[in-house]
Amino acid sequence: MKRIIALAITLVFLVITGCSDYLDVKPQGIVGDKELSTPENIDGFVISAYAQLANDHYTIPNLLWPYGDLRAGDAYKGGDGPADISTFHAFEIFSTIQPDMSAYAPSVLGDINNKKWERQFVGISRTNLALSRLKDVSAEAYPLKNSREGELRFLRGHYYFDLKILYNRIPWFDETASVSDIENTSNVKYTSQEVWDRIAADFRRAAELLPATQNDKGRPNKFTAKAYLAKVLLYQAYEQDDNYNVVNINTGKLQEVVTLVDEVTASGNFSLASDFAENFLFEFENGPEAVWSIQRSHLDGTTIGNLDFSAMLSGPMSNEYGCCWFHIPSQNMVNAFKTGENGLPLFDSFNEADLTAEDYVDPRLNHTVAMPGKPYKYEPALVYTVEDWTRRPDIYGNYSSLKENVSPDCECFERIAPFMSSSKNTNLIRYSDVLLWKAEALIELGQLDQAREIINQVRARAAASTGYLYDENGVSLANYKVEGYSSFPDKEYARKALRWERRLEFAEEGIRFFDLVRWGIAKETLDAYFSTEKTKRTYLVDAQFEKGKHEYLPIPQQQIILSKGLYIQNNKY
């Protein structure tokens, strides 16, 4: 009996102390799905899609200098020697690029090739998320619906564009794809041309939906979309075979490029800045030439500001900056700025001797390259020297990159020891780029004179851009001599002139390598570059560009593994 009582007491005791809903605790600090489909919150998803533009990291920059300049013979990696971010060193010499770069020093950074791939898809997923949310509201409830859809398609096109030129074979899907659809989409589901078509379609639709002007400087308008569409079509026009040879140039697409650029010009939205320098000065950001740029900011309530992370490693070593001297202009590129008595580039002899103070040069050189004895970033009192401003001159020479950097006196300048950067915007497309796309298309279409006019327009602006280029004594920094072309004798010459012009105009802006691949001349250009540059920079002795392979980066090994064989690796990797 006693035992039964004991048991009963025990049971009662146990039951009263337990309660069933004890485990239903509310999750803290996250929002519910349903609350987010209001116009204000959808606007939030749109902003978030933009924010990825400014979410780059110095090892994964959205200005493509490691991918576009280091691989093109325009810049050395710089820094503390080859081991300082050795994945970038691999980009520079090609021979050590491999699908898994996670062990490359310093490996604390992880596989930054994989991270680049990942970050592009973060941007794509943010735009897709916002696009699918947009379907939850009507245009009546949300008058900006069309414009926002246009902006999102533009952004998606942009994120895919960079992914395409970096990796070539990429998985493409839109906002209707579920997680399992995405996990079952191969990178070779669509051909290269089919992917281009899809990227172009987004910009085409964006151009239809977007208004002709936007109040917010960071949002693309109809003509920004048309300009980007022109860029896509220009890339697509050069049709490649499996070994990345250009096997056909599609004139229909080139014709459309010309039409689109004409529409952009006719809109009156954009023009060339009066001085080349203004494209690279904080005071003039969002100026007339800025077609598409990343809006950077500081003192904005974020931890360190939405600073220009793309430029964070590029500062020189003087006390005003201190770190990290990456992205160093190559001797070959500096020599390319030499001009002859006629004010034209020295196409054949430019690299026979290194630039001297006596040579005639294009003024864009001193906007682009910091050189010993000359003022840094238009500050006459701030003189760049080898001793105090360089880091490893014995390895990487004496120069430094200027365009992305700012004066230490700029209100946009921020130190984040040991790094520094600024809130200056990052140019992604300048109007001169748009004009030269048209010139390029015209040349391929055989309309050489029209093309020449455009090139001369760009050169004339360059020639006029000497207003900032004086030292403390008011003496010009170099012997400047730039003239327009009086004629293009043939298509080959015109091509040479266009291609040279692009090199000088966009030097150190992360563009050149993609031009070379588009034109199908990466192999020959780099072979020529290495053969001479190796003798000046011994670390390049291992450099070797393999045709049909190094035009694109490998699909990151981690993605191949995660896809369980669905993804196909790029050629020869």
Return the residues of window 16-55 that contact another protein according to CB under 8 A. 17-19, 22-33, 36, 41, 43-55
CB-nearer residue toward another protein: 119 or 158: 119
CB-nearer residue toward another protein: 246 or 410: 410
Residue 284 is given by DSSP the state G
The 78-107 site mask, x for binding another protein (CB under 8 A), equals --xxxxx-x------x-xx-xxx-xxxxxx
- Binders in 433-492 for another protein, by CB under 8 A: none
Stretch that binds another protein, among 227-235, 365-373, 412-420, 477-485 (CB under 8 A): 412-420
Kindly determine how many residues on this chain lie close enough to bind another protein according to the rule CB under 8 A.
Answer: 136
- Binders in 178-237 for another protein, by CB under 8 A: 179, 182-183, 185, 215-219
Selection from 571, 564, 570, 572 nearest residue 185 by Cα: 564
Stretch that binds another protein, among 221-229, 290-298, 440-448, 491-499 (CB under 8 A): 290-298
Q: Shortest gap between Cβ of 93 and another protein (angstroms)?
A: 8
Q: Which residues pair with 401 in a beta bridge?
A: 369
Distance CA 443, CA 454 (A): 11
Among 126, 156, 327, 503, binds another protein (CB under 8 A): 126
Q: What is the 3-state secondary structure (H, E, C) of 62-86?
A: CCCHHHHCCCCCCEEEECCCCCCCH
**297 sits near another protein (criterion: CB under 8 A):** yes
CB-nearer residue toward another protein: 100 or 471: 100
Among 392, 403, 481, 495, binds another protein (CB under 8 A): 392
- Binders in 249-288 for another protein, by CB under 8 A: 285-286
Q: What separation in angstroms does the CA of 312 have from each of 2, 120, 395?
A: 80, 20, 21
Strands 360-361 and 479-480: parallel
For 44-79, b where at least 16 C-beta lie within 10 A, e where not — what string?
A: ebbeebbebbbbbebbbbbbbbbbbbbbbbbbbbbb
Q: Shortest gap between Cβ of 561 and another protein (angstroms)?
A: 5
Among 138, 242, 266, 319, binds another protein (CB under 8 A): 319
CB-nearer residue toward another protein: 474 or 565: 565
| Helix or strand (DSSP H, E) at 422 | strand 419-422
Q: Shortest gap between Cβ of 301 and another protein (angstroms)?
A: 6
Residue type, 236: Q
Stretch that binds another protein, among 253-261, 316-324, 352-360, 519-527 (CB under 8 A): 316-324
The 345-374 site mask, x for binding another protein (CB under 8 A), equals ------------------------------
Among 224, 236, 306, 432, binds another protein (CB under 8 A): 306
CB-nearer residue toward another protein: 437 or 545: 545
Alpha helices in 413-506 (DSSP H): 431-444, 448-463, 491-505
Distance CA 351, CA 28 (A): 64
Among 395, 478, 516, 517, binds another protein (CB under 8 A): 395
Strands 238-240 and 338-339: unpaired
Which tokens belong to 188? 């070779």
**289 sits near another protein (criterion: CB under 8 A):** no
Stretch that binds another protein, among 8-16, 332-340, 363-371, 493-501 (CB under 8 A): 8-16
First-residue to last-residue Cα distance in the chain? 81
DSSP helix/strand/coil, 285 = coil
Nearest 5°: the CA angle 6, 7, 11 is 120
Which tokens belong to 225? 């979309």
Catalogue the long-range contacts made by 439-442 (C-beta closer than 8 Å, 24 or more residues apart). Answer: 439/498, 439/501, 440/234, 440/498, 440/502, 441/234, 441/237, 441/254, 441/255, 441/257, 441/258, 441/261, 442/258
Distance CA 418, CA 434 (A): 37
Q: Shortest gap between Cβ of 308 and another protein (angstroms)?
A: 12
Distance CA 118, CA 113 (A): 9
**323 sits near another protein (criterion: CB under 8 A):** yes
Contact between residue 470 and residue 380 where contact means Cβ atoms under 8 Å apart:
yes
Among 252, 418, 474, 489, binds another protein (CB under 8 A): 418
Distance CA 425, CA 271 (A): 18
CB-nearer residue toward another protein: 77 or 523: 77
CB-nearer residue toward another protein: 44 or 288: 44
CB-nearer residue toward another protein: 188 or 299: 299
Contact between residue 536 and residue 331 where contact means Cβ atoms under 8 Å apart:
yes
- Binders in 534-553 for another protein, by CB under 8 A: 538-539, 541-542
Among 71, 296, 338, 481, binds another protein (CB under 8 A): 296
**389 sits near another protein (criterion: CB under 8 A):** yes
Among 39, 68, 150, 171, binds another protein (CB under 8 A): 171
Among 140, 176, 276, 304, binds another protein (CB under 8 A): 304
Among 298, 377, 499, 512, binds another protein (CB under 8 A): 298
Q: Shortest gap between Cβ of 231 and another protein (angstroms)?
A: 22
**381 sits near another protein (criterion: CB under 8 A):** no
Distance CA 163, CA 124 (A): 10
Distance CA 434, CA 432 (A): 5
DSSP helix/strand/coil, 520 = coil
| Helix or strand (DSSP H, E) at 87 | helix 86-93
Contact between residue 89 and residue 563 where contact means Cβ atoms under 8 Å apart:
no
Contact between residue 518 and residue 440 where contact means Cβ atoms under 8 Å apart:
no
Stretch that binds another protein, among 134-142, 204-212, 231-239, 409-417 (CB under 8 A): 409-417
**380 sits near another protein (criterion: CB under 8 A):** no
Q: For residue 432, how many other CB atoms are within 10 A of its CB? A: 24
